[in-house]
Chain A
């Protein structure tokens, strides 16, 4: 009996060692980044990472000498509006596929689904020309309009809407609700969780957009953080590491907080595709 205890205890210790090692691997880059963001750039450049004085100077500099607040505001606005549009348009399309009978419904559904196979990255040239000819280069609209809907969102919400008890639709028909009323009063509230999931997912993917805003924005007035950081980096890399790291920290901390609270929705949303 004592042997078994000893054995399980040893196993537990090894298990904790493994957990700590893996955690170090994951949070190592965070810690190095956050730590250097607190050091004076002169010390970073001379390799003096341990015996230095820490301060929040770099953060102060990043906030006052770079347009990072503007970048953050742009990102927040773009991501928020993209999210709202996605939730609205995807849920409407999904509603049509579940609750409205119309000609060639399956055809349209597969048409929408097939767009998941066509990567946006391969279509930037004509899209750039479209946005240019609409006069939307270097504007919020240029970064939002192409992403106002998504096949993934439509597909995910369709799965969710199909779980609704059909009796609800019957009752609504008896009450004489039209499609719009049923959509607003029953479908949206009933599928709240899936809508939150899509919201979290679309917000995050808009926030992480890189290629498109890089191609279509030319001024700090509209640049989101991802591209803004590139701007800062290309201007400052070789002389101001402390401030660059501080800017990275300013961007990553809010997303980590959002992730921490939104974890559940991400998980269920991602699993929507994985485990059916």
Chain B
């Protein structure tokens, strides 16, 4: 065994060399290491290639063809599928609805998440109890959230309807009014997101330096000044991380839409991924769905790239 030939290196240069890369001992085991490299990395690499890289290329390929119902390519049409999409009113409506949804969900998640985290980070008796409550929606899955909120928004027997009737307020048609349907999907998503946002933002609040607070308190800064000029800048990297994650996740929303509105009423909640699903699996239009998938990938790749770049710089003020 090549490893047995290794000797203790008193100067520690092997450590440096191994970290840096070159080392004669390393070279002597290289042949053996190659086998290990494939053994250890191979399974993951194979899975990623089969289920992520290959499908991505295939999607790109499919998006340039017309495909029949069985997913077989018939005619090469170049960018025509994209042109069809970008001139289609329904697709633009879907893009626009997604944008509204994504922005509303991210903003509300961040604002409410901040409110929850800052409230829970004050040291009062019982605050750990409240923390557990605040993070509890992390345990709620899509289907459970959909059922809870479908009942609350139910137009005939739902809690909101009953409350409105009790208070003699106008009764709203949550499921038939396009704006309200969108609002109900946004509310359920934000509620479901809050546990996650809270948990991360709360950790950021926990790691704030206490001394800075004492200083600003002595200087007589008001709580709101402190929040906007001390706290926010200090937690800005975490804030940025949560926003990007929420943006990416809301661009990919599917389950809640499928369960709560099925894209309706009148396509008001037909967000990007649901539109892909509809086109591909309900209408059998694989080529257009593939073009939509490519557009979705570009959007998400850009957001993820921004996230990496930002994290790399480890921005803090």
Contacts and interface: CB of A to CB of B under 8 A. Distances in A.
Interface in B101-135: 115-116, 119-120, 122, 124, 127, 130, 132-135
B41 interface: yes
B147 A233 contact: yes
A225 to B, nearest CB: 7
A225 B143 contact: yes
Interface string A97-116: 10011110100100111011
Interface string B31-45: 001101101110111
Q: From DSSP, what is the main secondary structure of chain A's interface residues?
A: helix
B139 A214 contact: no
A241 B151 CA distance: 8
A102 B151 contact: no
B21 interface: yes
Contact of A44 (B15, B18, B62, B157): B157
B1 A176 contact: yes
Given A45-B157, A121-B276, A255-B141, A248 B147 contact: yes
B59 to A, nearest CB: 6
Chain A interface residue bracket vs B? 35 or more
B279 to A, nearest CB: 10
Given A166-B15, A210-B142, A248-B143, A23 B133 contact: yes
B141 A22 contact: no
B48 A151 contact: yes
B50 interface: yes
A68 to B, nearest CB: 12
Contacts of B56: 118, 122-123
Interface in B173-214: 191, 194, 196, 199-200, 203-204, 207
B144 A252 contact: yes
Given A92-B44, A123-B52, A276 B37 contact: no
Interface of A: 12, 15-16, 18-19, 22-23, 26-27, 29-30, 32-33, 36, 44-47, 49, 89-90, 92-93, 95-97, 100-103, 105, 108, 111-113, 115-127, 129-130, 145-146, 148-149, 151, 154, 166-167, 169-170, 173-174, 176-180, 183, 207-208, 210-211, 214-215, 225-227, 229-230, 233, 237, 241, 244-245, 247-248, 251-252, 255-256, 258-260, 263, 266-267, 270-271, 273-276
19 contacts: A19-B127, A22-B134, A26-B133, A46-B157, A49-B162, A93-B40, A95-B40, A100-B36, A116-B304, A118-B52, A119-B251, A120-B52, A125-B289, A126-B62, A230-B143, A248-B144, A251-B141, A259-B139, A274-B204
